[in-house]
Amino acid sequence: MEKYGVNELRKMFLEFFESKGHLAMKSFSLIPHNDKSLLLINSGMAPLKPYFTGAEIPPRRRVTTCQKCIRTGDIENVGKTARHGTFFEMLGNFSFGDYFKHEAIAWSWEFLTQVVGLDPNRLYPSIYQDDDEAFDIWNKEIGIPADRIFRFGKEDNFWEHGAGPCGPCSEIYYDRGEKYGCGKPGCTVGCECDRYMEVWNNVFTQFEGDGKGGYTELAQKNIDTGMGLERLAVVMQDVDSVFDIDTMKAIRDKVCEMSGKKYQVDALDDVSIRLITDHIRSATFMISDGIMPSNEGRGYVLRRIIRRAARHGRMLGIDGIFMAKLAATVINESKDGYPELEEKKDFIFKVLSQEEEKFGKTIDQGLSILSDMEKQMEADGVKVLSGENAFKLYDTYGCLLYTSPSPRDI
Ligand code: SER
């Protein structure tokens, strides 16, 4: 198997779908346009919603993108596991009332088996439980034996995100082999472990959901596919996690170089190394789209991400502000797909440094207030910091107080 890099895979995907008549569009901004239901763009289809519903006319009925996405729902787990992250790129091919299931399935198979060369015997499709049409396409047209096609329920194979265009889906899983498995009896496609990795999601967008379980048929049938670029790279490069793929490893290595730490020596250091590696990507891309740190909405998400990374930098022993320097590595790794990063680099560095400096001052101020509080406690003969004071230190000065050892939790 060829170990394609992230930048190569992005290009290969877009070129493949261009060869199938798609218009390759630039990634949309992370800031949603005319969509109050989202704080940040979280999937390839999100900026395209009006084209699915027919509210707007797309520039072409076949479009392909590599969309920058942010999902912060699991932010508390970032760093603690090798799976979670806030920033990712989603590859997608879209049909707005043009082709439907036959082509979408055939092309996903062609790309995975012939373009990037994954072994077809390791690929397993899944379908929505009642979708016999998709079953027949996989079985009769692609030639996948019936016992290799998995039927899953709504939870796994029906894609919807709040209100808006949605529909049943057919996913493709890749068997990464026993070394990644849990070894439990019955471990197969759909198991929670790392062996069977979902790489591709073909959504047959045919409904408009009201977000409360009500669906109306859309006048046009659409295709919305999504494939996490980083995940595809994990499979192609046969590495443990997204933190080991080429572009992210470059950032991870830089964090190690700046802190003098080695990855996979100390579990707590690894939490910080992974968290910073992820967060600097989100922060760099958010700033390049014009989001500024603030105390509300998107700006607050950015501020929180920068401050979390800055705090973990301190925990790793990095001296002084470091995020702008690290952003230079992010830009270097991603400017192929996102030339605007290079164009806006001075602005990105400035915003990161200002926020990090401001945070450093706030922390120092917090520590000095803590020392005053400790003096007062001593004078009063009190041994435990009050909840009120602990909250003030956290809320106003960003200081979290730990019992030892620190769980690196925030
Ligand atoms: N919307 C689907 C997803 O995000 C496919 O693009 O997975």
In the predicted structure, residue 150 carries a pLDDT above the cut 60: yes
Q: Is the CB of 43 under 6 A from ligand 1?
A: yes
What is the value of pTM for the model shown? 0.91
Cα–Cα distances in angstroms (integers) from residue 277 to residues 41, 142, 230, in the given order: 20, 40, 13
Tell me, what DSSP letter sits at residue 180?
Answer: G
pLDDT at 407: 47
In the predicted structure, residue 2 carries a pLDDT above the cut 70: yes
Q: Which residue has the higher pLDDT, 361 or 224?
A: 224
Nearest partner of 407 among 177, 80, 118, 93, judged by Cα: 80
**What would the mean pLDDT of 396-408 be, rounded to a whole number?**
58
Nearest partner of 159 among 38, 45, 61, judged by Cα: 45
Q: Report the 10 Å Cβ neighbour count for 343.
A: 13
Regarding beta strands 62-70 and 123-128, do their DSSP bridges make them parallel or antiparallel, or are they unpaired? unpaired
CB neighbour list of residue 132: distance below 8 Å, 6 or more residues apart: none
Q: Is the CB of 203 under 6 A from ligand 1?
A: yes
In the predicted structure, residue 404 carries a pLDDT above the cut 60: no
In the predicted structure, residue 398 carries a pLDDT above the cut 70: no
Give percent of the chain with pLDDT exceeding 70: 97
Rounded to whole angstroms, how far apart are CA atoms 251 and 256? 9
Q: Look at ligand 1, atom 6, and give the residue with the nearest C-alpha.
A: 226
Q: Which residues are paired to 68 by β-bridges?
A: 89
Expressed in angstroms and rounded, the spacing between residue 201 Cα and the centre of ligand 1 is 6
pLDDT at 394: 78
Q: Look at ligand 1, atom 7, and give the residue with the nearest C-alpha.
A: 226
Q: Look at ligand 1, atom 2, and give the residue with the nearest C-alpha.
A: 226
Q: What tokens appear for 409 in the block? A: 């939790």
Rounded to whole angstroms, how far apart are CA atoms 407 and 80? 10
Question: What phi and psi, each to the nearest 5 degrees, are found at residue 345?
Answer: -60, -40
- Which of 161-165, 185-189, 245-249, 281-285 is predicted with the least confidence, judged by mean pLDDT? 161-165
- Which of 82-86, 101-105, 144-148, 258-262 is predicted with the least confidence, judged by mean pLDDT? 82-86
Expressed in angstroms and rounded, the spacing between residue 239 Cα and the centre of ligand 1 is 24
Residue with tokens 């877009």: 14
Mean pLDDT of the chain: 93
What is the widest separation between alpha-carbon atoms in the chain?
A: 82
CB neighbour list of residue 320: distance below 8 Å, 6 or more residues apart: none
Nearest partner of 305 among 291, 289, 290, judged by Cα: 291
In the predicted structure, residue 332 carries a pLDDT above the cut 70: yes
Render pLDDT for 204-262 as a digit per residue (tens, 0 to 9): 999 999 888 899 999 899 999 999 999 999 999 999 999 999 999 999 999 999 999 99
Q: Is the CB of 45 under 6 A from ligand 1?
A: yes
Expressed in angstroms and rounded, the spacing between residue 98 Cα and the centre of ligand 1 is 18
Rounded to whole angstroms, how far apart are CA atoms 254 and 209? 44
Expressed in angstroms and rounded, the spacing between residue 228 Cα and the centre of ligand 1 is 9
Residue 288 pLDDT class (50, 70, 90 cuts)? very high
Ligand 1 atom with the shortest distance to the CA of 42: 4
CB neighbour list of residue 336: distance below 8 Å, 6 or more residues apart: 7, 10, 11
Q: Is the CB of 201 under 6 A from ligand 1?
A: yes
- Please state whether the peptide bond connecting residue 168 to the residue before it is cis, i.e. omega within 30 degrees of 0: no
Q: Is the CB of 224 under 6 A from ligand 1?
A: yes
**What would the mean pLDDT of 15-35 be, rounded to a whole number?**
97
In the predicted structure, residue 409 carries a pLDDT above the cut 80: no
Q: Which residue has the higher pLDDT, 270 or 400?
A: 270
Question: What phi and psi, each to the nearest 5 degrees, are found at residue 142?
Answer: -90, -25
Helix, strand, coil share of the chain (percent; to 5): 50, 20, 35
Rounded to whole angstroms, how far apart are CA atoms 85 and 294? 22
